Structures are given as structure tokens and as C-alpha cells.
């Protein structure tokens, strides 16, 4: 009908996976249509994820660093927080990036269709736009519909005092007492922000440690630091009920010491994200979606239907932007006829808390469970001149080696800027580097990057003095 559109490659969802795939396919000469339900491009990551959270974490860092300089001879007055201005600044960072994406789409002649898309057949998506239904037919399609926060049946999510990460980033107010349900990356990053802004934070985590994916020794310095700042960190504890009362949210929890109740001004629910596989009617195109909502793909990002690909959060863990981007490139290149595979050895993970916690490849726990002869080099930042000159000494850089060939197979780093430091180890693992490669590469002094160098030397036993 009139207004109907055809794309050689149609991408459903404009997050980091989707826009990367759309741009790459267009660069390879394909006529591309990009479907997005939200007003701006960029998905969760740019609008309500990676980017706004990092802007607020920067503000948090400025506040806590200023506080702590008080012990080193420079005192500042208590910060005056103008929440409206802080929110505006965060939004301007986001808008700069999402606006940039629109420009990049235009420059590549990527046709953006704004509306909610659902498959109606193996070569058709119907998009509910403001002007009615638009039919978008395709030769090939890339599903990049992302994920959404998990909700829990015993929590009154419609109460405005119950928020998810999107609500937390809206920065409506600074609650006096905030309960963060979930001690994973997202919950802890938001806790970092609200703690700096003045909230009294309590973390509740079901597992026996916060950030359960990383090694305990790497998480410990973070735990220790926030334990001193927050009201409580309750591990091995689960929330069993949240009751909306006039004076606050009454929360019932069960932990090692039994059941207890407490009342909070706000509850942030950060217990994971669920993929959007079930919300796009993929089955109508013949694409299988599993019970949890994930779409299975092969190492070329193809679903069971050869001309339909899927990428990003909707295909599985880890739900991270850099994974989505990498998969987006693979899918677009395969769609354009190139022989490409997803063959990355490792995907780094980072919690941008204070201190940051980063890990890549096998954790020590995983390597041991796999029966690998594990060797390790662990360097305490208390011996790093640069770390001490930042007023911090709690960091650790730990490298995991396979004793058989001394190759590095994993790393865990905790400390300021750990997220930047982990990239070097990711490269080392991709290149098959061994301890000598890392130990003999001259790193600039004095930087935190030296700790990777020193950790390799610790493993080799060649370190002579600590600085």
C-alpha cells in the first residue's frame, strides 16, 4: 500500500547493536531500514543505560574525591546539589550522542521508521507509527530489540517510590533511605551515585557476594569501601515482600539472621534484565524464542531462519553494549555476503563503581573448575606509586595464567580506572600473549597500567622491587 517500505536489510531496534548493524550494512551498500519505537535512537545504552549512568557516576566521583581531599589538606564546603541542573547536564550528554546518531543515519541514507514493529511473516514487519500501520518488507532482517528490567510479582511496581534503573537515572529526588534490590553491576552503580548525592543506601543481594560473576578477592576491596559508606550490605538475603505505606515502603527480608522488616523512602529494583524476544512476534517469521525470551543464534548471528539474524541483549549473556556492537558488525557483514564469524575469545565486564571492578576471560574460580593448572600473578596497588598518589591503595590487579604454556587466560582488576586497564588484558588474551609478553612490555611510569606489567612479573617471579 502507499507508505509501505522495502529494505534489503531491515534492523529492528536502534540500540548499540542495531545502529551499528544498520550503519555497517549501509556502508557495505545495502538499502537499510531501521525501526525504532522510541523518539530517539541509541536504545537502552545511550538513553537510559551506559551513558547517563556514567555521567552521573562522574558527578559522584567529583563529590567523593572532594570529600576525601579533606584528609589531605584541601577542604571544600559541602556540595550544593542543584538536581535540575545535574539532570539537564546528564540529558545534554545523552542528547548530544543520540542526535549525533540521527545525523549519522541520515548521512548513510538509512531510512528510520519510528514506531513499534512486529513480525507478520517471514519477510514482513508491521510498524505501528503515529500515522498508522506501515508495512516494512525485507530481504534480510536483524533483530536487535534488546531487553527490559525484570519486575517481581511481590513488588508494587506501580508505586512511584519503587523504581528501576530508568527511574533511578531520572533523578527525581534524593531519597533519605534507599534500598537497592540486587548487588549486580547496575544496582551498585546507581548506589554509588545516590550515596554520593547523600542517600543512605542499603544493598540486598541473594548470593553470598556482591557482583557474583567476579572473583571474591577482586570484589572485596569494593565491598570494604562501600561497607564504610553505606548503611548496610546484606548478602545471602532475599526480599520477600514490599508493602506501600504512607510513610514509606515496608520491606520484608530473609537473611542469615532470620526475617526482618525495615522501611525505606525508595526501592530500586535491579535484579536483572529480560530479553525482548517475545515482544516482537518473532514466531510469525518462524524464528524460535526460548522460554526466557532469548533468540538462539549461530556463530554468524543467524537465527534458525537463514535470512533473519539477531544480536545484542536479545540473544543472551553477557548483556553488554560492546558485545551487541561486535555482534552487530558480524550480522551486517554476513548479511552483505561477507564470510564473518563471531569468534571473539573474551568479552570484558566492568562495574563502574568506586572502585571499579573489571574482569575478562576466565575468573580464577572458573579456571579451577575447568581443571586448568592455574597460575596467578596478583599485584597489590598499595605498592603502586600512581595509586598512592591518587590517595587510594585498595586496588588489585590479578592475572590468571595457564601453567602449561604461561599464556594469560583471564584477569580481574579492582581500583580506580580498572575498566580502562582491563582492555590491555583482553588484547593480550586475543593475541595469545604469555607472561613474558606482558612482563617485558615497557609500560609508562607512573601509571596504573604498570600494575598489569607488575602482575605478570609477580607470576614470573622476576619482580625486583615494588614502587
List residues near ligand FAD by CB under 6 A: 12-18, 35-38, 43-45, 49-50, 53, 116-117, 144-147, 165, 186, 276, 279-280, 312-314, 319-322, 324, 352
* Cβ atoms < 10 Å from Cβ of 323: 23
Tell the smallest beta-carbon distance from residue 103 to ligand FAD (Å): 17
Nearest to ligand FAD of 211, 438 (CB atom):
211
Separation of alpha carbons 201 and 195, rounded Å: 6
- State yes or no: 465 annotated in a binding site: no
Judge contact between 408 and 429, C-beta under 8 A. yes
Asked whether residue 184 is marked as a ligand-binding residue, the answer is yes
Residue 440 bears catalytic tag: no
8-state DSSP, 442: P
| 182 annotated among ligand-binding-site residues | yes
Sheet strand arrangement including 177-181: 162-163, 266-269, 177-181, 200-204, 232-234
Least Cβ distance, residue 324 to ligand FAD (angstroms)? 4
Question: Is residue 321 helix, strand or coil?
Answer: helix
Which of the following is catalytic: 6, 307, 440, 445?
445
User: Any binding-site annotation on 186?
Assistant: yes
Q: Supply the minimum distance, in Å, between the C-beta of residue 341 and ligand FAD.
A: 19
How many C-beta atoms lie closer than 10 Å to residue 33's C-beta? 26
Nearer to ligand FAD, 128 or 462 (CB): 128
SS3 for 224-272 is HHHHHHCCEEECCCEEEEEEEECCEEEEEEEECCEEEEEEECEEEECCC
Residue placing its CB nearer to ligand FAD in the complex, 53 or 237:
53
Does 321 appear as a known binding residue? yes
CB of 53 to ligand FAD, least distance (A): 5
Q: Which of 299, 354, 261, 323 is nearest to 62 (CA)?
A: 354
**How far apart are CB 94 and ligand FAD at their closest, in Å?**
12
Q: Which residues of 278-303 are buried (b: 16+ CB within 10 A; e: fewer)?
A: bbbbbeebebebeeebbbebeebbbb
- The CB density around residue 187, as the number of other CB atoms within 10 Å, is 27
Query: Is 213 within any annotated ligand binding site?
Result: no
Between 147 and 387, name the residue whose CB sits nearer to ligand FAD.
Answer: 147
326 among the known binding-site residues?
Answer: no
- Whole-number minimum distance, CB 457 to ligand FAD, in Å? 31
Pairing of strands 308-310, 273-275: unpaired
Cα distances (angstroms) measured from residue 8 to each of 28, 29, 30: 12, 10, 6
Closer CB to ligand FAD, residue 272 or residue 432? 272
d(CA 424, CA 271): 30
Please, which residue, 327 or 460, has the CB nearer to ligand FAD?
327
The catalytic residues are 445
Binding residue numbers for FAD: 54, 117, 313, 319-322
Binding residue numbers for NAD(+): 182-189, 205, 272
Amino acid at each position: 500500500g502507499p507508505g509501505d517500505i522495502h529494505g534489503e536489510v531491515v534492523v529492528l531496534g536502534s540500540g548499540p547493536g542495531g545502529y551499528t548493524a544498520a550503519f555497517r550494512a549501509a556502508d557495505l551498500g545495502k538499502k537499510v531500514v531501521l525501526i525504532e519505537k522510541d523518539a530517539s535512537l541509541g536504545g537502552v545504552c545511550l538513553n537510559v543505560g551506559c551513558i547517563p549512568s556514567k555521567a552521573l557516576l562522574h558527578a559522584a566521583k567529583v563529590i567523593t574525591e572532594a570529600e576525601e581531599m579533606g584528609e589531605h589538606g584541601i577542604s571544600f564546603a559541602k556540595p550544593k546539589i542543584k538536581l535540575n541542573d545535574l539532570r539537564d547536564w546528564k540529558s545534554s550528554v545523552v542528547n548530544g550522542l543520540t542526535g549525533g546518531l540521527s545525523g549519522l543515519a541520515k548521512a548513510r541514507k538509512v531510512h528510520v521508521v519510528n514506531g513499534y514493529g512486529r513480525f507478520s511473516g517471514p519477510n514482513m514487519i508491521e510498524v505501528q507509527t503515529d500515522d498508522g500501520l506501515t508495512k516494512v518488507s525485507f530481504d534480510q532482517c536483524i533483530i536487535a530489540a534488546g531487553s527490559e528490567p525484570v519486575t517481581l510479582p511481590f513488588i508494587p511496581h506501580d508505586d512511584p517510590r519503587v523504581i528501576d534503573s530508568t527511574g533511578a537515572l531520572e533523578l527525581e529526588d534524593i531519597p533519605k533511605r534507599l534500598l537497592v534490590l540486587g548487588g549486580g553491576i547496575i544496582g551498585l552503580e546507581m548506589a554509588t551515585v545516590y550515596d554520593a548525592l547523600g542517600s543512605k543506601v542499603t544493598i540486598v543481594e541473594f548470593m553470598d557476594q556482591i557482583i557474583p560473576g567476579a572473583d571474591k578477592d577482586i570484589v572485596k576491596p569494593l565491598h570494604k569501601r562501600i561497607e564504610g559508606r553505606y548503611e548496610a550490605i546484606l548478602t545471602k538475603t532475599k526480599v520477600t515482600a514490599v508493602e506501600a505505606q504512607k510513610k514509606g515502603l515496608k520491606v520484608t527480608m530473609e537473611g542469615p539472621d532470620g526475617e526482618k522488616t525495615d522501611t525505606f523512602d525508595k526501592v530500586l529494583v535491579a535484579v536483572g534484565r529480560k530479553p525482548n524476544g517475545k515482544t516482537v512476534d518473532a514466531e510469525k517469521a518462524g524464528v524460535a524464542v526460548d522460554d526466557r525470551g532469548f533468540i538462539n543464534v549461530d556463530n554468524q548471528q543467524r537465527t534458525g531462519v537463514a535470512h533473519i539474524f539477531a544480536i545484542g541483549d536479545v540473544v543472551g549473556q553477557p548483556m553488554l553494549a560492546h558485545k551487541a556492537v561486535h555482534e552487530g558488525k558480524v550480522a551486517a557483514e554476513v548479511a552483505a555476503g561477507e564470510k564473518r564469524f563471531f569468534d571473539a575469545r573474551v568479552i570484558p565486564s566492568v562495574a563502574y563503581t568506586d572502585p571499579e571492578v573489571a574482569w575478562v576471560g576466565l575468573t580464577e574460580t572458573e579456571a579451577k573448575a575447568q581443571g586448568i593448572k592455574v597460575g596467578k600473578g596478583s599485584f597489590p596497588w598499595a605498592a603502586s606509586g600512581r595509586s598512592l598518589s591518587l590517595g587510594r591503595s585498595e586496588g588489585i590487579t590479578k592475572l590468571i595464567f595457564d601453567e602449561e604454556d604461561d599464556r594469560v587466560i583471564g584477569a580481574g582488576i579492582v581500583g580506580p580506572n580498572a575498566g580502562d586497564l582491563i582492555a590491555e588484558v583482553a588484547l593480550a588474551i586475543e593475541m595469545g600473549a604469555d607472561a613474558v609478553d606482558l612482563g617485558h612490555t615497557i609500560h609508562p611510569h607512573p601509571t596504573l597500567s604498570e600494575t598489569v606489567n607488575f602482575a605478570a612479573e609477580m607470576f614470573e617471579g622476576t619482580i625486583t622491587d615494588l614502587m
